[in-house]
Amino acid sequence: MTTIEANAKHPKGLMTLFFSEMWERFCYYGMRTLLTLFLVKSLMMGDSEASLIYGAYTGLVYAAPILGGRMADKYLGYRYAVMLGAILMAIGEFLILGESKEMLYIGMGALIIGNGYFKANISTIVGKLYKDNDPRRDSGFTIFYIGINIGALLATTVVAYVGETYGFTYGFGLAGLGMLLGLFIFWGGRKNYAAAPGLDIHEEGKKKVLGPLNMVQVITLGSLFLIPLCYVLIMQNQWLDYILLALFIGISITLIRSGGKEDKLQNVSMWKDRMIALIIFMVINISFWACFEQAGTSLTLFADRNVDRFIFGWEMPASMTQFFNPFFIILFGSIFSVMWVKLSKIGKNPSIPLKFCFGIVQLALGFLLTQVGFQFVNEAYQVPLLTLVFLYMLHTTGELFLSPIGLSMVTKLSPKSMAGTAMGAWFLSFAIANYVGGKIAALTGGHGGGEVTSAEDGLLQYLDTFATIGYVLLAIAALIFVLNKPIQKLMHGVE
């Protein structure tokens, strides 16, 4: 084997993390796939209430990594944080089997806190498998991203089918078993990623702080007490308007100040600018994902009511239509992984701002495609299933321009001393996006909870909202295109 061939191979720890993340995503997407329909059909909520609860839950899921990343950076180390998160997530899924609204919210709380520890830190370990300026990093994150979507594909087919066919609780239980499998893979393969720095519990974490308890034990017990707080925030989700805004402002100030301190320590002038660039990308990320995450709410309810889902006499469950996205990720992911490397070699790789711009354009076109589907509406006011197939295809290619690139970008823009915090900040942008996405979905459609409309009126309302989303996204993409050069200047050579 030549040196070139050896360098082309990815670290073997990548596959362990790939499968661990795959089963964690099976758990998360299994829950997410069924949640809106469970709220509407089993708990008899109206669309607006269900969408706001969904948005609050998914928003908190992505806000939690701010805490999880920070605790791992300072006290827990990445390995313990990931394992703690996996255990809490499995517990959360099994609590939902209680089938009451109260048990659902408590289970959601455990899933939120668990995801906070798991999600930010496993992505950080992937970044730490590679040295600085390693050309394999983008490709490695894209491969990792395929693992995420294999888990999502299994969830949106197997869990979706089981949940809608045999009962929602069977689907949630299956998701919990998937999380336990991910935990066993992560622990069993720990030697494969052992070379990544920052895995072990830090000295600060070993210090006694409360009687015989050290900091790690206090954090672990404290995490359990955060579950009731999540319960309250899901119930009183309007509070999140102020909490998420305050968190965004706070994390932005923290990033800029930390960047300034890093400049002084290293006697350079780039980290502060890079943190400003990261904040700009966070705002762009919010605009993309607030619209993309209609998949779990308005697009699933649209599929349930206004899409002809019969295929050769078999009716596809509405939640199962979410499988198109991970299916296309797996189909196109490897192609994109190779494409970025090839384009980089010939000097034609688009800048990161332009990749984000092109991703948003494709997302917009996906929503506007529903106007084409309307031309083929049937007598039941249902558009053809192909409308959703092509919508999700465009959303997926847009996602591949943005999401795996974004994960890699955060590890490049942030100094090593705050890698977990920066990744947590990045996931905060997903939190805000998911919450805003729930608010957008609450404005779409109008079924249940005393808001009944006809199939025709419901279809027209969906199409009008989707068209508005599409045009707004095109305007955002145009703005990013204009600001491409100034943003690149702030990035100081990061590509």
Q: Pull the structure tokens for residue 82.
A: 């990931």
Q: Pull the structure tokens for residue 102.
A: 């109260």
Alpha-carbon distance 125 to 395, whole Å?
A: 28
Tracing tokens 């249940």 back to the chain, one arrives at: 448
The per-residue pLDDT for 479 is 97
Alpha-carbon distance 260 to 271, whole Å?
A: 7
Residue 315, phi-psi category: left (phi > 0), alpha (psi -120 to 50), beta (remainder): beta
The per-residue pLDDT for 282 is 96
The per-residue pLDDT for 382 is 96
The per-residue pLDDT for 417 is 78
Q: Rounded to the nearest 10 degrees, how much is the dihedral formed by the CA atoms of 353, 354, 357, 359?
A: -110
Length of the chain in terms of residues written: 495
The per-residue pLDDT for 333 is 80
pTM for this one? 0.88
Average pLDDT, the chain: 90
Task: Count Cβ atoms within 10 A of the Cβ of residue 93 and give its class: 0-12 exposed, 13-18 middle, 19 or more buried.
Answer: buried
- CA pseudo-torsion sign 234, 239, 241, 245: negative
Tell me how crowded residue 239 is: count the other CB atoms within 10 A of its CB: 12
Alpha-carbon distance 102 to 65, whole Å?
A: 24
| CA-wise closest residue to 283 among 337, 245, 231 | 245
Q: Pull the structure tokens for residue 135.
A: 């050309």
Alpha-carbon distance 299 to 315, whole Å?
A: 17
| pLDDT higher than threshold 90 for residue 59 | yes
Q: In this predicted structure, which of 213-217, 263-267, 375-379, 451-455 has the lowest mean pLDDT?
A: 451-455
The per-residue pLDDT for 437 is 95
DSSP structural state of residue 39: I
Half-sphere exposure of residue 272: CA atoms within 13 angstroms, side-chain side: 12
The per-residue pLDDT for 7 is 46
| pLDDT higher than threshold 80 for residue 305 | yes
Mind listing the domains of the chain with CATH numbers? 10-491 (1.20.1250.20)
| CA-wise closest residue to 129 among 10, 44, 285, 32 | 10
| pLDDT higher than threshold 80 for residue 320 | yes
The angle, 0 to 180 degrees and rounded to 10, between the axes of the packed helices 271-292 and 419-442 is: 30
The per-residue pLDDT for 411 is 81
pLDDT tens profile 166-193: 999 999 999 999 999 999 999 999 999 9
Alpha-carbon distance 488 to 495, whole Å?
A: 9
Q: In this predicted structure, which of 168-177, 408-417, 434-443, 455-464 has the lowest mean pLDDT?
A: 408-417
The per-residue pLDDT for 491 is 93
The larger pLDDT score, comparing residue 422 to residue 221, is at 221
| pLDDT higher than threshold 90 for residue 65 | no
| CA-wise closest residue to 180 among 91, 79, 269 | 91
For residues 461 and 251, is the Cβ–Cβ distance under 8 A?
A: no
Sequence letter at residue 367? F
Alpha-carbon distance 116 to 176, whole Å?
A: 17
φ, ψ (nearest 5 deg) of residue 448 = 80, 165
The per-residue pLDDT for 447 is 58
Q: Pull the structure tokens for residue 179.
A: 């999380």
The larger pLDDT score, comparing residue 17 to residue 443, is at 17
The per-residue pLDDT for 407 is 75
| CA-wise closest residue to 229 among 246, 243, 241 | 243
Q: Pull the structure tokens for residue 175.
A: 């998701």
Q: Pull the structure tokens for residue 41.
A: 């059909």
| CA-wise closest residue to 321 among 386, 380, 399, 373 | 386
| pLDDT higher than threshold 70 for residue 8 | no
| pLDDT higher than threshold 70 for residue 3 | no
DSSP structural state of residue 198: T
Alpha-carbon distance 299 to 440, whole Å?
A: 11
| pLDDT higher than threshold 70 for residue 452 | no
For residues 400 and 332, is the Cβ–Cβ distance under 8 A?
A: yes
Cβ neighbours of residue 488 under 8 Å, at least 6 residues apart?
351, 352, 353
Give 66's pLDDT tier (boundaries 50, 70, 90): confident
Q: Pull the structure tokens for residue 297.
A: 């709410």
The per-residue pLDDT for 445 is 58
| pLDDT higher than threshold 70 for residue 2 | no
The per-residue pLDDT for 450 is 44
Residues 462-483 have a mean pLDDT of 96
Residues 195-210 have a mean pLDDT of 90
Tracing tokens 């402002």 back to the chain, one arrives at: 249
SS3 state at 37: helix
| pLDDT higher than threshold 90 for residue 4 | no
Give 416's pLDDT tier (boundaries 50, 70, 90): confident
Q: Pull the structure tokens for residue 260.
A: 């300034």
pLDDT tens profile 340-397: 889 888 988 899 999 999 999 999 999 999 999 999 999 999 999 999 999 999 999 9
The larger pLDDT score, comparing residue 373 to residue 458, is at 373
